[in-house]
Amino acid sequence: MKKPIFKEFDGYNGIVEEIETSRKYGTDYAVYRDSVDKQINLLHPSRMKLHISEIIDETSSTKTLRLVSQDGYLPPFLAGQYIALFLELSGIRTSRPYTISSPPNQTGFYEITIRRVEDGLVSNYLLDEVKKGDGLESSGPAGQFYHNPLFHDRTMVCIAGGSGITPFRSMIREIVECGLERAIYIFYGNKNLNDAIFHDELRSLSDRFENINYLPVIEEPQEGYEGPTGFITGDLIREIIGEPAEKTFYLCGPQGMYDFCVPELERLGIPKRKIRKDVYGAPAHICDYPGWPEEIKADEVFAVKVDGGPTIEARAGEPLMLALEKKGMKISSLCRSGECSKCRVKILSGKVFQPAWVPVRKSDRQFGYVHSCVSFPVADLEILL
């Protein structure tokens, strides 16, 4: 019955003819799908077996783990990307993303740099318990925080806080080791100079290469310190970089740094599209966020019914994903920051709070999906994993 209607359309005969020609002489690419998938999985594996070949002390609270592949192959990555480590600790299956701090031209190993986090289950384990030779399981490289020569300016202005220096160390090393035609300014904020990871290395590169400009900014300087102090303000940035036009701005650090620095950049007239922010985990103090329901305290506990079966308890102040993991539930994850969408769950009833910056797709909003890594329960919930 339908064919006669299609025939009414202009070009119907031409399309039928083309389909016939394709069938007769063309290639059916669908038959190659499996072999293409196999090749892609080989080059970009979703899981990798690594082991620790070296542990390097950086600061009193930071170490770098050098990781080599157990099967001799490490996929390529872009400076700024991360891998997620998958671990089982105290009966909890969990994951953590760590930016690769070594440059992509170093193909024999990845380095990840870990700073101690207060009560950090994974960071404390990696800093205190792992040793040379231990095995680790990880994802392949992932993430959107990198320099794209097609869209981004050749001059990069980078603002880092604490362990947020790691992607920039990778980028800087790539620039100097590969002789890339790119200039980089790096403003690196820390409480005191002893906390500045890679300080000597970055200072030395800055002294040797004209296109590398490294500037530590110290909040609580010790006596005799002569560099810039306080926060990384728009005025300081303007003074060092000159005219902000034709420069792309990259930020990596704690949320508080974004809350302060982004308005400072906007005050300089820098358009939003020129400001790129790396993901940096779920907010530690969600109750301080704009829009958080004041009457709900971080320790308030809500019941979460999962897949119509067991009901678990989840604290308002911690991400829903963490509550699920603590009960031994398996949930996909990579970034744990709202970027990759791996951890989406469907909310059947109840309500969660997600910070405004979480990029939720329109269709997810429409059908009730949330990123569980950055969603905090504010009512009893029924969810589907």
Site residues, ligand FES (CB under 6 A): 333-336, 338-343, 371, 373
What minimum distance in Å lies between the beta carbon of 228 and ligand FES? 35
What minimum distance in Å lies between the beta carbon of 359 and ligand FES? 9
Nearer CB in complex with ligand FES: 190/354: 354
Nearer CB in complex with ligand FES: 252/373: 373
Kind plus residue range of the DSSP H or E element containing 122: helix 121-128
Judged by phi (left if over 0) then psi (alpha if -120 to 50, else beta), residue 325 lies in: alpha
- Pairwise CA distance, residues 178 & 172, whole Å: 10
User: Would you say 99 and 115 are in contact if contact means Cβ atoms under 8 Å apart?
Assistant: no
Nearer CB in complex with ligand FES: 197/324: 324
User: Would you say 247 and 156 are in contact if contact means Cβ atoms under 8 Å apart?
Assistant: yes
Nearer CB in complex with ligand FES: 186/279: 279
What minimum distance in Å lies between the beta carbon of 261 and ligand FES? 23
What minimum distance in Å lies between the beta carbon of 345 and ligand FES? 10
Nearer CB in complex with ligand FES: 74/321: 321
Pairing relation of β-strands 275-277 and 247-252? parallel
Nearer CB in complex with ligand FES: 155/333: 333
User: Would you say 339 and 144 are in contact if contact means Cβ atoms under 8 Å apart?
Assistant: yes
Nearer CB in complex with ligand FES: 241/320: 320
What minimum distance in Å lies between the beta carbon of 343 and ligand FES? 3
- 49-53's contacts with Cβ under 8 Å and 24+ in sequence apart are 49/135, 49/137, 50/110, 50/135, 50/136, 50/137, 50/138, 51/133, 51/134, 51/135, 51/136, 52/130, 52/131, 52/132, 52/133, 52/134, 52/136, 53/109, 53/132
Instruction: Give DSSP secondary structure letters for 27-76.
Output: --GGGGHHHHHHHHHHHS-SSEEEEEEEEEEEETTEEEEEEEESSS----
- Pairwise CA distance, residues 275 & 264, whole Å: 11
- Pairwise CA distance, residues 116 & 121, whole Å: 10
What minimum distance in Å lies between the beta carbon of 109 and ligand FES? 25
Nearer CB in complex with ligand FES: 111/325: 325
What minimum distance in Å lies between the beta carbon of 94 and ligand FES? 11
What minimum distance in Å lies between the beta carbon of 373 and ligand FES? 3
CA torsion sign, 170 to 173 to 178 to 184?
A: positive
What minimum distance in Å lies between the beta carbon of 337 and ligand FES? 6
Nearer CB in complex with ligand FES: 184/335: 335
Query: In the beta sheet, which residues pair with residue 187?
Result: 159, 215
**Coil, strand or helix at 19:** helix
